[in-house]
Structure 1
Amino acid sequence: MSLSVIIVNWNVKDLLRDCLRSVFASPLDPPPEVIVVDNASADGSPAMVQREFPQVNLIASPRNLGYAGGNNLGAAEASGNFLLLLNPDTRLHPDALHLLRDYLLDHPQVGVAGPQLLWPDGRVQSSRRRFPTPATLFWESTLLEQWFPGNAVARRYRFEDVPPDRPLAVDWLVGAALCIRREAWQAAGPLDESFFMYFEETDWCRRCAAAGWAIHYLPQAKVVHYEGQSSGQVLAARTLRFQRSKIRYAEKWFGRGWAIAVRLFLLATFGLQWLEESAKWLIGHKRPLRRERIAAYGQVLRGLGVGSEE
């Protein structure tokens, strides 16, 4: 049964090279089809792929389609029975591909299998999730979590009550590496491109589960993830996209009232952080750092304002 690997790249040429090397070093029969969708990179990524990996199907988009748009474009070109959505800032352990594919072959009710993600130093990354509740949107990755780290809402959301070395049926998995049965992809439909970045895999897994497919975490398959190397290049933009996607998810799954509440909450909390940094700047505390943070929080606040556009 054939596997198509889809990698969406934006300006991480060197990491992409290492990722592709790990894919082609993986013993898999038949060998995987590999598709790279380049989102208008300016670092020479397309030329590197053409020069060093001529066997790759390279799709060079003239504009940045985001994670969702890029993967949808790659999936439309893919011919495999299974699709592996793989971030370019990853490196596969040698047996990861066949473990993921064979798990889906052996478990016909499972639509998605995801590996254990590792930091480069070998520590386990948090990648298992329950579906967000309205409470999750206020308590996870917000100022409240900074004030109350390890709060019960965030811990439950991240499955921190279950050891990371245990195979597990989950609600959704972080999208750095997702092995998807084609029938599940067709049942759920493509990724929702209104989520430019973040929450698109959450939304898709929710639709996949609603279509009757199980989603499993397989810790025996391991993938190193250099998290946030593409999206982290512009931190304020990354934060803004994450929070906009959170609001979009709230509106899609919980209704407009919850979306308004989340937006107002985020405006209030980022406003507090902007005021705190401004006060520290006024008293002369690490002014270059404070100036940078004031600008970043200001950009996020403007972007989250009512009527703001992508």
Structure 2
Amino acid sequence: MAESQVLELTVCIVIFKPDRPTVLRTLQSLRKAVVSLPPLLVKLTIVDNSPGASDHAWLYAASGDLPCEVIAGQGNVGFGQANNLVLGHTGKYHLVLNPDVEMEPDAIEQALSFMRHHEECGLITPQAFNPDGSKQYLCKRYPTLFDLLLRGFAPRWLKSRFHKRLDRYEMHDQPANSIAWDPPIVSGCFMFFRGDVYTKLKGFDPRYLLYFEDFDISLRTAEVARIAYVPTVRIVHEGGRAADKGLWHIWQFVRSAGIFFTQHTMKVF
């Protein structure tokens, strides 16, 4: 029997020059979330996009008794293409997980339960919090170019003048503790897919090196299945704005925005 038929859950984490304490917290939370479940056939794949040879012994040690494979040596092929390296080996359910996410111990249990009771659901997005406990908004309405520039690069005083617009874009009107169906766009930091949906989509579009690959796959998912915001699936996500990370990240943001609006409808304002 093929591995993709045997595995109940597969998890893929992509790292690049990782901050070890952050990744270790993510792996610890993943192990806790899996160990609380009835026995499942689970596999973790960590794709290391870092340049050159790296020591991966610490990753295997941190994964403990969770079956783990590290893929390395391909260089920085980008977030989407790195995640696509597991295509053909995904389980019945597949989690795309950022290395800066800590989940509640029952997060995976809650996600599995929801998927099993809602066959129409192909992708779950969780309720997320910043490390300081404040709410993080992973669901978005379809963006305009103005929204993206304002949210990503505007100074705080300018954002405050458009806070109602930004709140609408980030779907602040969505009740935090109620299930919400069909948000147009969800974040790539924690995407809990039904495995056959992820396979049907052929994963992420590899043209996106960084940024907007989650926008694109959200829109494509909605064409074949439903997306659900499930607040009982809870995570803490460190995150970060492109403008705070230097010129290379700003360029990747602009480049990916160009690809996105070439593929999908462009709205300026």
TM-score range, shorter chain: 0.7 to 0.9
Structure 1 Cα separation of the partners of residues 165 and 119 of structure 2: 32
Residue 129 of structure 1 contacts residue 157 of structure 1 at CA under 8 Å; is this kept in 2? Answer: yes
Structure 2 Cα separation of the partners of residues 123 and 240 of structure 1: 29
Please report the RMSD computed on the Cα atoms of aligned residues, expressed in angstroms.
2.7
User: Residues 166 and 245 (structure 1 numbering): CA distance in 2 closer, same or farther, change over 3 Å?
Assistant: same
Establish whether residue 9 from structure 1 lines up as the match of residue 19 from structure 2. Answer: no
Give 1:22's aligned residue.
29
The one of 22, 47, 51 equivalent to 2:57 is 47
Code of the residue aligned with 1:224 in structure 2: it is: V
Residue 100 of structure 1 contacts residue 114 of structure 1 at CA under 8 Å; is this kept in 2? Answer: no
Superposed, 1:128-167 pairs within 5 Å as 128-133=139-144, 136-137=147-148, 139-143=150-154, 147-149=158-160, 150-167=162-179
Give 1:175's aligned residue.
188
Structure 1 Cα separation of the partners of residues 176 and 156 of structure 2: 21
Structure 1 Cα separation of the partners of residues 131 and 55 of structure 2: 22
Deviations 1:6-47 (A, max 9, x none): 111112222222211111112123153111111126795623
The one of 206, 215, 219 equivalent to 2:231 is 219
Give 1:242's aligned residue.
253
Stretch moving more, 56-65 or 82-91: 56-65
Structure 1 Cα separation of the partners of residues 135 and 202 of structure 2: 31
Code of the residue aligned with 1:122 in structure 2: it is: G
Structure 2 Cα separation of the partners of residues 233 and 60 of structure 1: 28
Give 2:216's aligned residue.
203
Establish whether residue 186 from structure 1 lines up as the match of residue 199 from structure 2. Answer: yes
Establish whether residue 110 from structure 1 lines up as the match of residue 121 from structure 2. Answer: yes
Give 1:85's aligned residue.
96
SS at match of 2:264: helix
What is the aligned-residue identity percentage?
24
SS at match of 2:191: strand
What's the CA shift for 1:164?
2.2
TM-score, normalized by length of structure 1? 0.74
User: Residues 84 and 74 (structure 1 numbering): CA distance in 2 closer, same or farther, change over 3 Å?
Assistant: same
What's the CA shift for 1:59?
1.0
Structure 1 Cα separation of the partners of residues 101 and 157 of structure 2: 28
Deviations 1:203-259 (A, max 9, x none): 011111122x11111111111112149x7994222222112211221111136xx7x
SS at match of 1:248: helix
Code of the residue aligned with 2:139 in structure 1: it is: R
Structure 1 Cα separation of the partners of residues 53 and 176 of structure 2: 36
Residues matched between the structures, number = 255
Code of the residue aligned with 2:9 in structure 1: it is: L
Structure 2 Cα separation of the partners of residues 253 and 146 of structure 1: 31
User: Residues 157 and 17 (structure 1 numbering): CA distance in 2 closer, same or farther, change over 3 Å?
Assistant: same
What's the CA shift for 1:138?
5.2
TM-score, normalized by length of structure 2? 0.84
Structure 2 Cα separation of the partners of residues 110 and 222 of structure 1: 18
User: Residues 52 and 166 (structure 1 numbering): CA distance in 2 closer, same or farther, change over 3 Å?
Assistant: closer
SS at match of 2:56: helix
What's the CA shift for 1:108?
0.6
Residue 91 of structure 1 contacts residue 223 of structure 1 at CA under 8 Å; is this kept in 2? Answer: yes
Structure 1 Cα separation of the partners of residues 143 and 158 of structure 2: 20
Structure 1 Cα separation of the partners of residues 156 and 219 of structure 2: 24
Q: Which has the higher helix share?
A: 1
Give 2:135's aligned residue.
124
Answer with 1 or 2: which has the greater Rg: 1
What's the CA shift for 1:187?
3.0
Structure 1 Cα separation of the partners of residues 63 and 120 of structure 2: 35
Residue 89 of structure 1 contacts residue 226 of structure 1 at CA under 8 Å; is this kept in 2? Answer: yes
Q: Which has the higher contact order (CA 8 A, sep 6+)?
A: 2
